[in-house]
């Protein structure tokens, strides 16, 4: 898909991957509609030309306002980029059910709610693209992130199912699976802490700009799946071939066993 002139609705756009996506798509000539809770940060990212919707995307009224406002200003929505998300490090066997529901509301039900608002419009014009930002944790379950992984597996499954549902409607879907990205994600988690060895692995993280560029290139070539950095495909493939071995290595990281 050619991005120049397209209208892109991005959630979680006030910082991190979302803000970097706003800049990456803007440089390619897109018209932006940005959604997040922080008005101050959104205005900085918007730069005076993008439409902003301030609010919690888990609320139906925020989603409705974002979609209605975008259609009112631009007359269309070409790309929906569901980026907003949150983590939870608590073990699944003792995590708060309320906190788990809160994570599912943002990581899964908010994207689904926006999709249900946007798809009828895209079907009417026989074109569009839905981009859902998942995680490498949506390709292989990470034990320090079991419940978070489950939300990202669900989002990936939704993306794949939508692709088949909308096959004859001119609508593409793409799932994005980043590895470790240098954002404030870990400081914004609902509860818990990552393993020490994971924290030491930050030197292998990519930047939000690198992630955003991978997303934009994926949209341009009509990709089904974007894994970034690309070498993470090796881990995913290895897990598929030798699941018991990878599970034991991940468990060792989780429990703090020596490398």
**Known active-site residue 148:** yes
CB 103 within 8 A of CB 86: yes
Work out the number of other CB atoms within 10 angstroms of the CB of residue 68: 12
The structural domains of the chain, with segments of one domain joined by +, span 7-255
**Considering the domain 7-255 in this protein, what is its CATH number?**
3.40.50.720
Q: Residues 136, 179: contact at Cβ < 8 Å?
A: yes
d(CA 55, CA 181): 24
219 close to 174: Cβ distance less than 8 angstroms = yes
Q: Per residue of the chain (259 residues), give pLDDT as tens.
A: 999 999 999 999 999 999 999 999 999 999 999 999 999 999 999 998 999 999 999 999 999 999 999 999 999 999 999 999 999 999 999 999 999 999 999 999 999 999 999 999 999 999 999 999 999 999 999 999 999 999 999 999 999 999 999 999 999 999 999 999 999 888 889 998 888 777 665 667 899 999 999 999 999 999 999 999 999 999 999 999 999 999 999 999 999 876 5
Catalytic residue among 104, 148, 180, 254: 148
Whole-prediction pTM: 0.95
Question: Which residues are CB-neighbours of 99 under 8 A, at least 6 positions away?
Answer: 88, 90, 190, 191
Nearest Cα to Cα of residue 36 among 110, 135, 116, 146: 110
């Amino acid at each position: 898909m050619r991005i120049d002139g397209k209208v892109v609705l991005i959630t979680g756009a006030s910082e991190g991957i979302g803000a970097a996506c706003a800049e990456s798509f803007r440089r390619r000539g897109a018209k932006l509609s940005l959604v997040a809770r922080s008005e101050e940060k959104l205005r900085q990212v918007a730069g005076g030309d993008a439409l902003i919707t301030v609010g919690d995307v888990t609320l139906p009224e925020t989603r409705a306002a974002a979609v209605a406002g975008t259609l009112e200003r631009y007359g269309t929505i070409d790309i929906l980029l569901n980026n907003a998300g949150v983590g939870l490090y608590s073990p699944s066997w003792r995590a708060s059910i309320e906190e788990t529901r809160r994570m599912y509301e943002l990581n899964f039900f908010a994207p689904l709610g926006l999709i249900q608002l946007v798809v009828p419009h895209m079907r009417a014009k026989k074109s569009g693209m839905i981009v859902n930002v998942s995680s490498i944790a949506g390709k292989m379950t990470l034990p320090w992130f079991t419940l978070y992984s489950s939300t990202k597996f669900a989002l990936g499954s939704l993306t794949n199912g939508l692709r088949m549902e909308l096959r004859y409607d001119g609508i593409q879907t793409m799932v994005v699976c980043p590895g470790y990205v240098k954002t404030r994600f870990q400081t914004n988690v609902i509860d818990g802490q990552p393993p020490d060895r994971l924290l030491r692995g930050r030197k292998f993280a990519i930047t939000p700009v690198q992630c955003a560029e991978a997303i934009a290139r994926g949209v341009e070539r009509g990709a089904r799946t974007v894994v970034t950095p690309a070498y993470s495909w090796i881990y995913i493939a290895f897990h598929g071939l030798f699941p018991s071995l990878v599970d034991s290595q991940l468990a060792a990281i989780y429990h703090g066993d020596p490398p």
